[in-house]
Chain A
Amino acid sequence: MDQPRVGLFVTCLVDLFRPVIGFSAVALLERAGCQVEVPTDQTCCGQPAYNAGDLKNSRSIAQSVIRAFEDFDYIVAPSGSCAGMLRAHYPDLFKDDPEWSPRANHLAQRTHELISFLVDIRGMASVENVGFEAQATYHDSCSGLRELGVKAQPRRLLATVEGLDLNELPGAETCCGFGGTFCIKYPDISNRMVADKTADITATGADLLLAGDLGCLMNMAGKLKREGSTTQARHVAEVLAGMTEGPAIGEPEKAPGT
């Protein structure tokens, strides 16, 4: 596959809250020699329903994702959580369904989280001519880390960004307390977890927090802003693609129209 056809699974949060991550993903995939398409009939991977134990709706949403994406060589998402849903949980949802089980498995095998896809599948070893002056730290989002083994890949690429200093975050592998609907169902517990996380982030002295999942980033950035912190938060893809002109997560736009 010289130029594999990649279907970008945008993820609902990126679609709704931070399109620049989607554009960054497209740019990085194209730099890695992929031909990128964005199916319009995608909404969400179905995790809110799945995590609530609603298998009927989860299956129905999963079927529409499978239909929209099964013809691509690869399916790539700028999120370990959503990619993990497609990869680890879709096969489980259909394990007793002779028609959908092979289709779910076929999709799962070709689904990847963005950064690990770039490094592990496309062999990307560096980003060229990309610079960003920052003292950064990195949070490992749980699903990417534990379901998909995303750990070294973002660090390897970030090390090639000019001007970026990456300081490891103590407890980088501890959950930030987002957990999808968890943060709505148990707001007080979620708050304690994210407060512990932002205390660790602040202690590193970093002025930039990076991660690979927008849900976690919105949680941590939202808490940092509430605490009056000046630490900015961005998705790792924005930095790797050099798309850092616009405001960081939760920051106002500098001037209209930027």
Chain B
Amino acid sequence: MKPQSHLFKENAKKALNDANLARALNNMKAGFQDKRRATIAKLPEFQDLRDQARDLKNHTLENLDFYLSRFEDRVTEKGGHVHWARTPAEAREAVLEICRSVDAKTVTKGKSMVTEEIGLNDFLIESGLTPIETDLGEYIIQLRHELPSHIIAPAIHLNKEDVAETFRENHTQLDPNRRLDQVQDFTDEARAILRQKFQSADVGITGANFLIAETGSTVIVTNEGNGDLTQVLPKVHIVVASIEKTIPTLEDSATILRVLARSATGQEYSTYTTFSTGPRRPGDLDGPEQFHVVILDNGRSALLGTEAQDTLRCIRCGACMNHCPVYGSVGGHAYGWVVPGPIGAALDPGLIGLEEAHDLPNASTFCGKCAEVCPMKIPLPKIMHHWRVKEHEAKLSPPRFRQGLAMWAWFARRPRLYRLGANAAIGMLGRLGAKRGRFAKLPLAGGWTAHRDLPAPSRGTFQQQWARHKRSQAPSSS
């Protein structure tokens, strides 16, 4: 997908003015945060599991070449095929080639952020195929020609009324007077329509939560069962996943699975956890005839060994965005790329370039909530800070901001001059503001006073008052 992250400020502004979006985001926050808190409270070893998960992923990243090649060997042994893709274009071509080799017309898809990243749907449509998203949220946004706004809840920006409208517009074959106001109504309707698509699909495409090097298995977790129907019913199953999804062993998947759903939706486990190992074997009752894994790099290997390497531990649970007050204010679309929220702010500059994405790591108060909830203990604010350092070095921040900062720093390094300036400025401001105690408007403070009053300073700085106090040795003169 074409990044729009350079439009962050504009898009954030639009999002903030969207009352419908604000309502949807408020619902999301309450739901995800409370559920996560409740389920984690029931697992005393949760913090230990975070350490284990972090360590095993660090180990994998340090030996990624080894585990990737072991994964390829195992997949091949089990009768599957691995396709390496350095770029989105290579990944798209690999998928198309497989589809063409079986003369595919219809392709069902389980939810996959990597296929969003490589813009697979549009490409398949241009190539004459019909991709159909089967995750309810993805299905809804596909009908609306929108992009996901969240990595586990792609349609989280919508309310029930929006979905009802979309279904009525698109499912014109159904009774226009049918009831459509409960989540169950949407699920039932989508299920009935998608059943036919599952049965007619030639190829099923899913993502992967893990690629297990020990067994050559790919793993998906879903709550709707759509992933299983996508990968089991068609003749061909294509997994599209990025290199950092690799883990060493089957047992390692259990460690991460124990923190994944709890962090994501507050479930102990997702409804479906599905392991796929190779194509159907003789005697198997079901399964695809062909099993392909397209493994995408797209800039990730370049992050290894850098300060942004820790972002590759991410298991895409979404906890950071569910808890982020900035994401909770502007939603996912404002970030302008497939991975929004704090992890997007830490990862995206590395994948789509700092020039495109330098606003994202700045749009954080460094409140630290994201790192607190991250099951993989990714130091998200630290990585955002790393990008700010790079941004400063590359002089990408707004010139006015840089000049203001340089001037302030010049004074801050010279305490005596700073004090003279501070005494003069605060003296004046204090006199101006004494009557009301605050300013509703002030030159050069427009960003602040547009939305809130600025409390006025007292008469004189602390240092001035302290010096007077020391001279008189009288009690506080404040």
A→B interface (CB under 8 Å):
10, 12, 14-23, 27, 38, 40-44, 46, 48-55, 57, 60-61, 64, 142-143, 146-147, 173-175, 177-196, 218-219, 221-223, 225-226, 243, 246-247, 249-253, 256
In this assembly, does B197 line the interface, its C-beta being within 8 Å of a C-beta of chain A?
A: no
- How many residues does chain B have at the interface if contact means C-beta atoms less than 8 Å apart? 68
Establish whether residues B435 and A252, one from each chain, have CB atoms under 8 Å apart when the complex forms.
yes
Contacts of A196 in B (CB 8 A): 325, 329
Task: Check: B461 CB closer than 8 A to any chain A CB.
Answer: yes
Contact yes or no, B455 A222, CB < 8 A: yes
Shortest Cβ distance from residue B372 to the other chain A in the assembled complex, whole angstroms: 6
A contact residues around B392 at 8 Å (CB): 52-55
Residues of chain A within 8 A of B391, CB atoms compared:
53
Contact across chains for B448 and A179 when beta carbons are under 8 A apart: no
The answer on a CB contact under 8 Å between A192 and B329 is: yes
- Chain B: minimal CB distance from A29 (Å): 13
Q: Is B436 an interface residue (CB 8 A)?
A: yes
Question: Which chain A residue lies CB-closest to B426?
Answer: A16
A-B pairs with beta carbons under 8 Å apart, 15 shown: A16-B457, A42-B415, A51-B385, A53-B385, A61-B413, A173-B369, A175-B365, A181-B405, A182-B364, A186-B9, A189-B329, A192-B16, A225-B455, A250-B455, A252-B434
* CB-based contact A17/B458 at 8 Å: yes
B388-A175 in contact (CB<8A): no
* Chain A residues whose C-beta falls within 8 Å of the C-beta of B13 in the assembled complex: 188
Chain B 316-340 interface mask (CB, 8 Å, partner A; 1/0): 0000000001100110000000000
Partner of A251, one of B393, B437, B467, B476: B437
Q: Is B12 an interface residue (CB 8 A)?
A: yes
| B41 → A minimal CB distance (Å) | 16
Other-chain contact of A221, B12, B326, B401, B455 (Cβ < 8 Å): B455
B452 contact from A182, A222, A252, Cβ within 8 A: A222
B16 touches A40 (CB 8 A): no
Report B427-478 residues with CB < 8 Å from chain A CB: 434-438, 440, 447-448, 450-458, 460-463, 465-467, 469, 476, 478
Selected from A44, A51, A146, the residue in CB contact (under 8 A) with B372 is A146
**Chain A residues within an 8 Å CB radius of B412:** 12, 43-44, 46, 49, 57, 61
Q: What 5 A-B pairs have minimum CB-CB distances, sorted nearest first?
A: A179-B365, A53-B388, A222-B452, A53-B392, A175-B367
